[in-house]
Amino acid sequence: MKAIVLEQSGGSENLKIQEINKPVAKANEVLVAVKAIGINPVDYKMRSADAGLMSMYGVTKNVILGWDIAGVVVEVGSEVTKFAKGDKVFGMVNFPGNGSAYAEFVAAPASQLAKMPDSVSYEEAAVTTLAALTALQVLKTRIKSGDSVLIHAGSGGVGHFAIQIAKSMGAYVITTSSAKNKAFVLGLGADEHIDYRSQKFEEILLDIDFVLDGMGGEILMNSVKVLKAGGEVLSLPSPPPVLAEAQLLADPKNAKVTSLLVASNGEDMETLSEFLQNGTVKPHVSKVFGFDEMPQAHDYIASGRTVGKIAVKLED
């Protein structure tokens, strides 16, 4: 089979198509013929960082990156009962860890996948994985109907899913983005938009129940300022020392500063499948690349200007 192998850490030019052996499904796995792959910021960050590659793979050379897939089951492990050959499935494979998703075939634990609704394309399903799981795992136990929720970078991958999920939970959603994406985020269901280039959210907002911060740094510190007493800000990118500094700022108002690393979870994928089926969540795929265009896909996501998500499509 064809796979895209990272020959060594560094630039996107190190991603090369190679012929390798097709994996065999273990007893608890299914073998998926991949039709589309979702690309995330963690993909290019991992590609260029020896430390990250070592933590995920134990090596820094000849690695197959990627975690987000949609495709068709072609082989079923002996212990698997929830899927059969021919099922269309999607999921985030072995995150954090070795997903090896940049390939024509992926062996994935059945417990991490869900069936795709017929109403969505492979590309739409493939992107409703890591970013959507992040939004779901952040929000599902932290907000309730009537809460005021601030979502930073609402036009991005996690943000555009978080807006939709928070609205479905009955929250009042405020989001930041550039002015050019105002119509987009309001169309997702946001109640209020703040242009981060011309407005300072910390001078506008007060008594917010929950903030989802995907930016870190000064954005995180200013997010603490707008929390109500007992509120919470969850920062996705911030390291422990920065979180500790922000918590000191939050202590006087008895507020919390937390973080989360998304994890593969089949039950959550089934929830996302239901969301796709009933229209609660509609993924926005802004661009689709070919399998041989993976380096360009990495460069595009690294630009930081992606609206919604991007996907890589494999030819039949």
pLDDT tens per residue, the chain (316 residues)?
999 999 999 999 999 999 999 999 999 999 999 999 999 999 999 999 999 999 999 999 999 999 999 999 999 999 999 999 999 999 999 999 999 999 999 999 999 999 999 999 999 999 999 999 999 999 999 999 999 999 999 999 999 999 999 999 999 999 999 999 999 999 999 999 999 999 999 999 999 999 999 999 999 999 999 999 999 999 998 999 999 999 999 999 999 999 999 999 999 999 999 999 999 999 999 999 999 999 999 999 999 889 999 999 998 7
Q: Is residue 109 part of a domain?
A: yes
CATH of the domain at 119: 3.90.180.10
Could you tell me whether strands 172-177 and 148-151 are parallel, antiparallel, or unpaired per DSSP bridges? parallel
Number of structural domains found in the chain: 2
Spell out the alpha helix ranges (H) of 67-200. 122-127, 130-139, 157-168, 182-187
pLDDT one-digit tens code per residue, 114-126: 999 999 999 999 9
Q: Which residues contact 218 (CB under 8 A, 6 or more apart)?
A: none
- Say if residue 203 is in the same domain as residue 236: yes
Query: To the nearest 10°, the Cα dihedral for 265, 270, 275, 277?
Result: 150
- Say if residue 35 is in the same domain as residue 103: yes
- Say if residue 71 is in the same domain as residue 162: no
pLDDT one-digit tens code per residue, 97-155: 999 999 999 999 999 999 999 999 999 999 999 999 999 999 999 999 999 999 999 99
Cis upstream peptide for 117 (omega within 30°): no
89 within 8 A of 70, measured Cβ to Cβ: yes
DSSP state at residue 197: T
- Say if residue 290 is in the same domain as residue 199: no
Q: Could you say which of 243, 258, 273 is where a domain stops?
A: 258
Spatial distance between the Cα atoms of 240 and 23, rounded to a whole number of angstroms: 37
Q: For residue 295, what are the domain limits? A: 2-128+283-313
